[in-house]
Amino acid sequence: MSSLTVDRLYSLLPALHRLRDAAEGDPLLDLLAAFAQEFAALEENVEQLYDDQFIETCAAWVAPYIGDLIGYRPLHGVSPRISSPRAEVAHTIAFRRRKGTALMLEELAQDVTDWPAHAVEFFEQLATTQYMKHLRLQAPATADLRNLPAMFRQGGAFNEVAHTAEMRRPESGSGRYNIPNVGIFLWRLLALRLSAIPLTPDASDGSGRRFRLDPLGADLRLFRRAQTEDDISHLAKPVNAPEPLNVRLMALSVRASQASVIPAPDARLDDDYGPGESITVFRPGDPPTPMPVAAIRICDLRDMLDAGGNVIGWNHEDGVPAGTIGIDPERGRVLLGAAADGPLVATFHYGQLRAIGGGEYARAPEGGDLAGQRKVANGNAFQADLDALASGGRLVIEDSYTYAQTPVFKIDDVLAPNASGLSVVVAAADQARPLIAASGPVTLAVGARGRLVIDGLVFSGGPLQLPAFADVEPRELVLRDCTLVPGLTLGPDGAALSPGAASLVVSHPFAKVTLERCIVGAVRAVADAQVTLHDCIVDAGTPDNAAYAADDTGLAGAELSARECTLIGKVHTKLMRLASNCIFFAQLGPKPGETWMAPLIAVRRQEGCMRFCYVPGGSITPRRFKCVPDDANPGVLPHFTSLRYGDPGYGQLRDATDASIRQGAEDGSEMGVGRSLFQPLRETNLRVRLDEYLRFGLHAGIFHAT
């Protein structure tokens, strides 16, 4: 804060001048206020000049200049931590002093990529004769088959089983175990949280004991909330990695907590269960009461089948006594010892490629300046609130509960000449992900010139429908950070119950629809509307279903603009205004009643452009620029880790995908919805740094743990 405030400057004037100034309406005071503002800016600038001498406090733009003094080479500024490379510049001297050590390489990988990382010296995992004066008791040549953690982790980032030597180089991603080889394991998937979620009853259960964690009622693989490393000289352990939870390994951890013993050097009493950990089960209340670890049983709750293949229950139902809770982290299932042990709520983590669709990540919903402001929570009905906001305002849903209702979103007409329309915002609060479990279509009754914004919500059970109206006035619909569950609803095994069914239906010809960072099923938009997609997944279930069209018969849909999107299914649009850095994963398939001629069809090809996209062979499009397949890359295909919504690797490109797709975006990133992750650029940065910091004769490989 400036020492030359307006009050101090004013007090330095003679009292006579202050009295006269007061009589004149304080013009001199106003003048000194302007001087004080400039003095404050000057003092702040001087203080910042001093702060800019140190990497810890300097402005972001100064960091590369400080780095230049010590020979730091700038990299692609793609991840938040290296767009201003403060951490790496601060560690450069220490990195050089510890050049080639595993601790340094692990910390370097984390600083450069902004991903959790683990460095492995593969010579430690070779089955070799040991020097008797330097025994490595942690590296026996034969495997201990009774060591369950070692058996489950063999071949991975935390492998403890010795191997014979491999002759392949690790740079190719193949060779590992040899004297000069070093491996950098990276975890690319995020472990996203869902908090205070009521358990979802199993639809086929009559006992009141079987529940699922996923509000959609499907199996869900849980992920670990990675623990922060406490010491800079500490190599990452399994508890420091956001990896999928394993039934056997988590059972060992919980059993150790119950017995107050630690089974292995890398285990802690609070590894995965408890407040602030990977999963916690609470009794509802204010505040909620966490179930103690003594009441938790980690179980394999897979389905039990009869001779005809029908599900007759869950495994281990008789092994969970009353007063205890069985949890299966691989399937996201919860089994109560007795029905009276409920109701319960849970906080847990699931894996996802990036923060997209509905989720409890940082957001800033718009509409805070609108006149009407309402809130709803605890799964209560909110149709009355929507009706009250039809003339403008914002409704905020404050939690991540399930709202089992089929609302109608309303905005009043504005037909007066030259009058602007009304705006309504329906948004999830920051760090909330409510689920609207509808029993049918959700109507968007947007009046003439109205603007409806839906932010951060998840919809299941029915499509969103913007119907046609009698007038010719425009309407605007914005979906931001939303999920319209592909296939409308999910079965217990996570499969879509209505694959290919439309999640969004736009029937008004003067509608303008914008989707940002959304996951949606198939889109149906009448030809005269306009649709813009940015950072979205449009999933028709299979590549031969219709992902985008005017109706289910395959007529040409609305004018389309798409940037950084992955569309799974066939596309038929009146005009492809712009497609940039997208993947159109589609193929022809005979469907009754359809009139398709190609995987992707744009009727008006004299206008529009497709750039840096994957476009299936045989597509009919406007002019293309650096799209694949092309003459240099014929026959290439995108390969995905998973194309099923709810899987951790949903929408993620596999390493087997050709480089023309994985590095085919305009900036060298991958095409599709993963473009904004800049994964190839992060890895390029890491390889540049490994060349600089590896000791002579060592070879390093990068391995994706997720």
Three-state secondary structure call for residue 476: strand
**What's the CA gap between 541 and 236, in Å, rounded?**
38
> Coil, strand or helix: which one is 105?
helix
Least confident stretch, 226-235, 336-345, 391-400, 468-477: 226-235
Alpha helices in 531-626 (DSSP H): none
Is residue 689 over pLDDT 60?
yes
Q: Which of 140-149, 234-243, 487-496 has maximum average pLDDT?
A: 487-496
- From the list 408, 354, 349, 351, the residue with the least C-alpha distance to 383 is 408
- The 10s digit of each residue's pLDDT in 459-473 is 999 999 999 988 888
pLDDT at 537: 95
Would you place residue 315 in the very low, low, confident or very high pLDDT band (cuts 50, 70, 90)?
A: confident
What is the full DSSP assignment across 217-252?
SS---BB--PPPPS-TT----GGGS--B--HHHHHH
pLDDT, residue 306, reads 80
Q: What is the pLDDT of residue 269?
A: 44
What sign has the CA pseudo-torsion 77, 82, 86, 88? negative
* pLDDT tens figures, 529-566: 999 999 999 999 999 899 999 988 888 899 999 999 99
What is the average pLDDT across 585-606?
79
Lowest mean pLDDT among 351-360, 364-373, 384-393, 576-585: 364-373
Contacts of 375-381 spanning 24+ positions with Cβ under 8 A: 377/401, 379/198, 379/403, 379/404, 381/405
Average pLDDT for 212-233: 86
Query: Could you read off the pLDDT of 230-270 as tens digits, one per residue?
Result: 666 778 888 888 999 988 888 776 665 666 554 444 444 45
Q: What percent of the chain has pLDDT over 70?
A: 94
Neighbour-count burial of 430, counting CB atoms closer than 10 A to its CB (0-12 exposed, 13-18 middle, 19+ buried): middle
Helix (H, G, I), strand (E, B) or coil at 175: coil
Q: Please write the tens of the pLDDT for every residue from 147-200.
A: 887 888 888 888 888 888 888 888 877 888 888 888 889 999 999 999 999 999
Provide the residue count of the chain: 706
Task: Identify the pLDDT of residue 33.
Answer: 79
Q: Which of 620, 554, 606 is closest to 577 using CA atoms?
A: 606
Name every residue whose Cβ is closer than 8 Å to that of residue 372 and which is 6 or more positions away in sequence.
388, 389, 391, 392, 393, 394
- 197 beta partners: 346
Please give the mean pLDDT across all residues of the chain. Answer: 86
Residues 672, 653 contacting (CB under 8 angstroms): yes
Kindly tell me if the per-residue pLDDT of 41 is higher than 70: yes
Q: Answer yes or no: is pLDDT of 504 > 90.
A: yes
* Segment 377-401 mean pLDDT: 92
List of residues 6+ apart from 26 with CB closer than 8 A: none
Q: Does residue 100 register a pLDDT over 80? A: no
**How far from each other are the two terminal CA atoms of the chain, in whole angstroms?**
48
- The DSSP code sequence of 418-449 is T----EEEEEEPTT---EEE-SSPEEEEE-TT
In this prediction, residue 420 carries a pLDDT of 80
CB 543 within 8 A of CB 585: yes
Lowest model confidence (mean pLDDT) among 330-339, 587-596, 601-610: 587-596
Mean pLDDT of 363-376: 86
Whether the predicted pLDDT of 81 surpasses 70: no
pLDDT score, position 462: 93
- The SS3 call for residue 355 is coil
Contact 294, 310 (CB under 8 A): no
> Is the model more confident about 443 or about 342?
443
Report residue 304: phi and psi, to 5°: -100, 130
Q: Helix 102-113 to helix 86-97 angle, to the nearest 10 degrees?
A: 160
- The alpha carbon of 38 is separated from its chain's Cα centroid by a whole number of angstroms, namely 44
Higher-confidence residue: 87 or 648? 648
Residue 54 has pLDDT above 90, yes or no: no
Q: How far apart are CA 244 and CA 330, in angstroms?
A: 8
pLDDT of residue 639: 93
Distance of CA 268 to the CA centre of its chain: 28
pLDDT in tens, 601-621: 999 999 999 999 999 988 999
What are the tokens at 331? 């399937």
Q: What is the pLDDT of residue 296?
A: 87
Reply yes or no on whether the pLDDT at 349 is more than 50. yes
What is the 3-state composition of the chain as percent helix, strand, coil, each rounded to the nearest 5? 20, 25, 55
Judge residue 495's burial from the number of C-beta atoms within 10 Å of its C-beta, 0-12 exposed, 13-18 middle, 19 or more buried.
Answer: middle
Is omega for the bond preceding 599 within 30 degrees of 0, making it cis?
A: no
Domain boundaries, given as residue ranges, for the chain: 6-51, 71-188+682-704, 190-352, 385-405+425-635+663-673
* DSSP-assigned letter for residue 474: -
Determine contact, residues 646/624, Cβ cutoff 8 Å.
no
**Percent of the chain beyond pLDDT 90?**
42
Pick the more confident residue, 418 or 124.
Answer: 124
Task: Assess contact for 265 and 234: CB atoms under 8 A.
Answer: no
Nearest to 426 by CA among 462, 465, 398, 461: 398
pLDDT tens, 623-657?
Answer: 999 999 987 888 899 999 999 999 999 999 999 99
The answer for residues whose C-beta is within 8 angstroms of residue 202's C-beta and 6 or more apart is 210, 211, 212, 217, 492
pLDDT at residue number 576: 95
- The reply to whether the predicted model has a pTM over 0.85 is yes
Residue closest to 241 by CA, chosen among 263, 213, 272 = 272
Residue 1 pLDDT > 60 = no
Distance between CA atoms of 24 and 290, rounded to whole angstroms?
67
Give the separation between CA 562 and CA 559, rounded to whole angstroms: 10
At 657-678, the pLDDT tens digits run: 999 999 999 988 999 999 999 8
